[in-house]
Structure 1
Amino acid sequence: MKSHASTLLAEVRTFRQNHPDVRYVDLIALDIPGHFYGKRYPIEMLEKVAAGSPLKLPQNAVLLGVQGGLFKIGDYCFNDGDPDANRRLVPGTLKPVSWESQPLGQMLITSDGTEAPIEFEPREVLAKVLERLQHKGIHPVVAFELEFYLFDKKLDNGLPQFARDPLSDDPDDQPNLHIERLSRFGEVLDDMAQTAKDQGIDITVITAEIGPGQFEINFGHLDDGMRAADWAALFCRSTRGVALKHGYRASFMAKPYLQYPGSGMHVHVSLYDGAGNNLLAAHQQQPLRHAVAGCLELLPHCMPIFSPNHNAFRRLGGTVNAATRASWGFEDRDACVRIPESDPRNLRIEHRLASADANPYLVLAAILVGLEHGLEAKREPIAPLNEDRSSGTDFPLEMLDAVRAMQHQPVLRDKLGAEFVDVYCENKRQDHLAFQQEINAREYRWFL
């Protein structure tokens, strides 16, 4: 414990030496909907926390709805006295914030690794899955890819406007998938990439996607699944901030335009043993087939995680590479689970179903549980799309159906935790019902 505290203290003191103008640090964690919450600490108080002083925040901050409201979930929120829960600083995450008007720092905090972790905290859910796999001698290597849209900073009667191309205001003039679009938006994209690197994130490939103002950022492969999810979460935060600084809005909203492709969170996962052998490639890739079967079996029950809101369901079955059934295939982007071409050492799955605004900790946890379940059950998967274009199994396409499919699934309750599953499903159900409590203009046009 003393060694851990001394490491954190050295990190804070080094940061203060390198950034003497920073007076405050945002201590942040991701809640269930995937938003950061936390507190802004004076830098001198942060040093005390690093040295061992308690760091407490309300336990129920994790349960906030999309709009920040509290829902009655079991005895939480209204019958538990709103207790505090201990958090800890995550080593290696204290970094400068360059997109705000004043010098700031930020650092991740979490309840995982404390004496009483919060069972439904997303980072804790993933931590338990990773720990269990490690005990089984399974070591994931993970890489995220995130798609997002740039919009004009100003909304038009609440509706997004296309990001203003320096050469044209017509979205049809933006060349899809062309390198030229990277140049047209080069200044903001370069700042996003550099800011992410300043946060310790390994940015690799940047792609202009099909939608106007849509881009994709790839991250490096990591043998630390938690850190990979940290990168995805922190990238979303910094990217929104950098976009505003340049006069844009950046959004990871799943389906901002009906007529253009949605934005996804693609996750590459390979599994290795303690000696560094690729477990999926053994025995003529039979474990790969088992892992795929497990993913597909659990996928319909994980839809509230992969599509965490009403808008995310709009993305499914969209214009490009978004499935409406659980499927797999080799080098097939229409599949939910794609097997990219690679040598045996790098054999992996690419899980393509999650929306870009999903919670990265929970998405990765659900994928890993699917792989784990498949390796244990040793079942054969359905036919790949390469052999049968109609292959696939149905999954829910509406939130309330999805919640019902998730809540009582025994494998998920066992491997993600029954308490988490109950809390998460009720949070999603309440959010969905709250979203419905508004009559929009179209409803009046149709039924008044």
Structure 2
Amino acid sequence: MKSQSSTLLAEVRTFRQNHPEVRYVDLIALDIPGHFYGKRYPVEMLEKVAAGSPLKLPQNAVLLGAQGGLFKIGDYCFHDGDPDANRRLVPGTLKPVSWEAQPLGQMLITSDGTEAPIEFEPREVLAKVLERLQHKGIHPVVAFELEFYLLDKKLDDGLPQFARDPLSDDADDQPNLHIERLSRFSEVLDDMAQTAQAQGIDITVITAELGPGQFEINFGHCDDGLRAADWAALFCRSTRGVALKHGYRASFMAKPYLQFPGSGMHVHVSLYDGAGNNLLAAHQQQPLRHAVAGCLQLLPHCMPIFSPNHNAFRRLGGTVNAATRASWGFEDRDACVRIPESDPRNLRIEHRLASADANPYLVLAAILAGLEHGLEAGQEPIAPLNEDRNSGADFPLEMLDAVRAMQHQAVVRDKLGAEFIDVYCENKRQDHLAFQQEINAREYRWFL
């Protein structure tokens, strides 16, 4: 603990020396729906926290709904006195914020690694999965890919508008994959990439996607699963901020346009032993097949994680590369679990089902739990799509069905934690019911 405090203290002091204009630092963490919460600390107080002073925030901040409200979940929120819980600073994440009007810093905080971690905190859920794998001699290497839409900053009666092409000032309303779109929006895209890199995020490939104003950013492969998920979470925050600075909105909403492709979160995962050998490639890739089988078996029971809201379920089916059944295949983007072509050293799975607005900590935790379960069970998967285009297992396509499928599944409860599963399912159930408590114009038009 003393060693960590000295490291953190050195990090804060170095930051203050390099950024004397910064007076405040946002201490932030991701809640269950995938939004950041936290506090804005004077930088001199941050130095005291780094030296060992307590850092406490309300435990129930993790339980906020999609709109920020609290739901009654067991004894939490309304019958527990709303207690504080300890957090800690995440080393290496103190960075300047360049998209705000005033000089500012930000730093991740978490309850994992404290004396009493919050069992339903997303980062803690992933930390437990990674710790269990490490004890088994399994070391994941992870890379996220995130799709998002650029939209006009102004909404039209609450509805999104296409981003304006900076060269022509026309709406970028033509879906395509043309490289010229990267040039036309290069100013904002370059700023997004540079800002992400300043946050310590390893940005690699930028792609113009099929939807109008849609892009994809790839991150480097990382041998620290928590850091890989940190990158995905921080990228969403910085990208939204940079877009607003340039007169756009950046949205990771799963399906902003019904007629165009949705935005996904693709996760590449390799598994290595302590000597650096790829576990999936051993014994003529038999462990790969077992891992795929485990992923597909748990996938129908993890849908509230992969599709965390009503809109996310709209993304599934009806457009390109969005599966409606649990499936797998070699070099097949219609599959939920794709096996990219690679040499044995880099053999991996690409999990393609999650929406871009899913919680990256929970998505990775669910994927790793499926891989772990598959390696333990040693079962053969269903036929790949390359052999049978109709191969696949059904999964829920509506939130309440998905919650029921998740809550009482024994393996999921064991791998991700029973307390987390109960809290998460009730959070999603209440969020979904709250979403239904509004009559929209279409409903009046159809039934009035």
Task: Compute the TM-score of the two structures, normalised by the length of structure 1.
Answer: 0.99
Say whether the 8 Å CA contact 1:336–1:352 is kept in structure 2: yes
Task: Quote the Cα distance in structure 1 between the aligned partners of 2:234 and 2:370.
Answer: 25
Secondary structure at the residue paired with 1:253? coil
Q: Per-residue deviation at 1:168?
A: 4.3
Distance 1:110 1:401 in 2: 31
The separation in 1 between residues aligned to 2:169 and 2:416, in whole angstroms, is 47
How many angstroms apart in 1 are the aligned matches of 2:259 and 2:299?
26
Q: Any stretches of 5+ residues in structure 1 without a counterpart?
A: none
1:334-362 deviation line (CA, Å, top 9, x unaligned): 00000000000000000000000000000
Unmatched runs of 5 consecutive residues or more in structure 2: none
- The 1:10/1:172 distance shift into structure 2, 3 A limit, reads closer
SS of 1:173's partner is coil
Q: Percent identity?
A: 94
Answer whether contact 1:11 1:92 (CA < 8 A) is retained: yes
Moved over 3 A (4+): 167-175
| Shift in alpha-carbon separation, 1:298–1:175, aligned structure 2, 3 A | closer
**Structure 1 position 168 matched with structure 2 position 168:** yes
Residue 340 of structure 2 contacts residue 348 of structure 2 at CA under 8 Å; is this kept in 1? yes
- Cα separation, 1, equivalents of 2:399 and 2:121: 21
In the TM superposition, residue 173 of structure 1 has moved relative to its aligned partner by: 5.9
Moved more, 387-396 or 169-178: 169-178
* Distance in 2 separating the partners of 1:60 and 1:202: 32
Q: Matched residues in 2 for 1:374 and 1:340: separation?
A: 19
Give the whole-Å Cα distance in 1 for the aligned partners of 2:72 and 2:237. Answer: 28
User: Deviations along 1:86-109, whole A, 9 cap, x unmatched?
Assistant: 000000000000000000000000
1:2 deviates by: 0.9
Structure 1 residues 170, 78: CA separation in 2 closer, same or farther (over 3 Å shift)?
A: same
User: Match of 1:368, SS?
Assistant: helix
Please name the residue that 1:198 is paired with: 198
Give deviations 1:146-200, integer Å, cap 9, x for gaps.
0000000000000000000124465576461111000010000000000000000
Secondary structure, counterpart of 2:159 in structure 1: coil
Deviation at 1:124, TM superposition (A): 0.2
Change (3 A) 1:173 1:308: closer
Q: What's the CA shift for 1:271?
A: 0.1
Give the distance between the partners of 1:350 and 1:413, measured in 2 at CA.
24
> What is the Cα deviation at residue 318 of structure 1?
3.1
Give, in whole Å, the separation in 2 of the partners of 1:361 and 1:292: 20
Distance in 1, Cα, partners of 2:112 & 2:347: 31
Secondary structure of the structure 2 residue equivalent to 1:171 = coil
Partners of 1:172 and 1:78 lie apart in 2 by: 47
SS in structure 2 at match of 1:28: strand
Rounded to whole Å, the distance in 2 between the matches of 1:318 and 1:241 is 31
8 Å Cα contact 2:162/2:172 also seen in 1:
no
Q: Deviations along 1:371-393, whole A, 9 cap, x unmatched?
A: 00000000000000000000000
The question of whether the paired residues in 2 share the 8 Å contact of 1:174 and 1:181 is answered with no
Give the Cα–Cα distance (whole angstroms) in 2 for the partners of residues 39 and 291 of structure 1. Answer: 40
**What does the per-residue CA deviation read over 1:190-218, in whole Å, with 9 as the maximum and x for residues that have no partner?**
00000000000000000000000000000
| Alpha-carbon contact 2:323-2:336 (below 8 Å) kept | yes
Alignment map for 1:408-423 (pairs within 5 Å)? 408-423=408-423
Conservation of the 8 A alpha-carbon contact between 1:54 and 1:86: yes
Kept in 1, the 8 Å contact 2:163–2:172? The answer is no
Please state whether the residue corresponding to 1:143 is helix, strand or coil.
Answer: strand
* Contact 2:172–2:213, Cα closer than 8 Å, also in 1: no
Size of the aligned set, in residue pairs, is 448
